[in-house]
Amino acid sequence: MVPPLMQRSPNSELGMRAIGAIQAPLSRTMNPQLATLIKNPPTGEGWIYEAKLDGYRILARIENGKAKLFTRNANDWTAKMPALAKEIESLQLDSAWLDGEIVVMGDKGVPDFNALQNAMDASKGGAVVYFVFDLPYANGYDLTRSPLHARRELLRDVMARHKGSRVKFSDDFPGDGATMLAAACKMGLEGVVAKQKDSLYLSTRTSTWLKVKCTSRQEFVVIGFVDRKNSNKSEVGSLLLGYYEGKELRYAGNCGTGWDMRTGADLHKRLSKIEIDKPALDAGEMKPGRWSKRKPGGERWVKPEMVVEVEFTEWTPEGHVRHPSFQGVRTDKRPREVVREKVV
């Protein structure tokens, strides 16, 4: 049985204990637990399911009641979302690590990744909502060795007293994973995340957290672009995509859809600033017929610094993405981290 949340007094720090909790100082940094991509939801007892939200992973660190917001790569984004940090401080936690996803809700009531990207680029954090799903540390206690259901029970108790609109609890749904996935896809969500109820919090990719996507989708490094033809403005007509395999950069195909004129012009402006004379691809990737099915010509190569998210139907036998569609720029991911995500 999960011990209840204990409040010492209405306006003082909260004391928390759970199965496996260890009294420990607040760590300076924390790496998030990552889910493994699988094709179908797991079956059997002991799993809970959460909606896979289309946003940025954020870890919130609270020290002496003050909150800071970090990306999965430990970039400090507090200044981008001051209002969100302020609301996290109203949770009345003296010290904590919160794990969750920031999103911007679209017109259809589901997260809109492009709207989130625009909010981040414009430093307008007002529309951002933080869905918290884990509590690996709280008020002097390391909870990473506590089972997931205990951590979430404590987190649920914290959120039950919260009246704000920017920080919300990410609900879970027990039962049939296949039904959950079908419902998520019908609603226009990215997919579902399945988690073992008794799983510990491990700062690595694990098989106790699994993700299933409605469509194929992942990050790619932009290695070049082609100008849009018959345009009066400087716009991107196509992005040349890549990913890392060890230290070598592989070609993954070209993407020519998914952005409007304004975004196409912005991409062109940003990529033109990092243009180089030769492709950053491995020499073997540049063999005739290997790197592209499109007619060569007009390629403008860039330093592999921009990361974009792309949705596609499948991988071709040549290792290129089929029917890709641009979803947005990822400013929370390092290029060297971008690999071909394989389904287990």
Provide CATH 3.30.470.30 ranges for the chain: 6-213
* Interstrand relation of 56-63 and 236-245 (parallel, antiparallel or unpaired): unpaired
pLDDT of residue 173: 82
pLDDT bracket for residue 10 (50, 70, 90) = very low
CA 200 and chain centroid, separation: 20
pLDDT bracket for residue 343 (50, 70, 90) = confident
Judge whether 52 counts as a catalytic residue. Answer: yes
pLDDT of residue 43: 87
Q: How many CB atoms lie within 10 A of CB 198?
A: 13
With pLDDT > 70 as the criterion, what percentage of the chain qualifies?
Answer: 89
**Which DSSP letter does residue 271 get?**
H
Q: CA–CA separation, 168 vs 184, rounded Å?
A: 19
Tokens of 151: 């951590």
Q: Would you state the CATH architecture of domain 216-337?
A: Beta Barrel (2.40)
With pLDDT > 90 as the criterion, what percentage of the chain qualifies?
Answer: 72
Percent helix, strand and coil across the chain, each rounded to 5? 20, 35, 45
pLDDT of residue 124: 57
Catalytic residue, from 39, 52, 273, 278: name it.
52
pTM, whole model, 2 decimals? 0.83
pLDDT bracket for residue 147 (50, 70, 90) = very high
Provide CATH 2.40.50.140 ranges for the chain: 216-337
CA 91 and chain centroid, separation: 23
Residue 275 has pLDDT above 50, yes or no: yes
CATH number of 6-213: 3.30.470.30
Calculate the average pLDDT of the chain: 88
Higher pLDDT, 86 or 126: 86
pLDDT bracket for residue 289 (50, 70, 90) = low
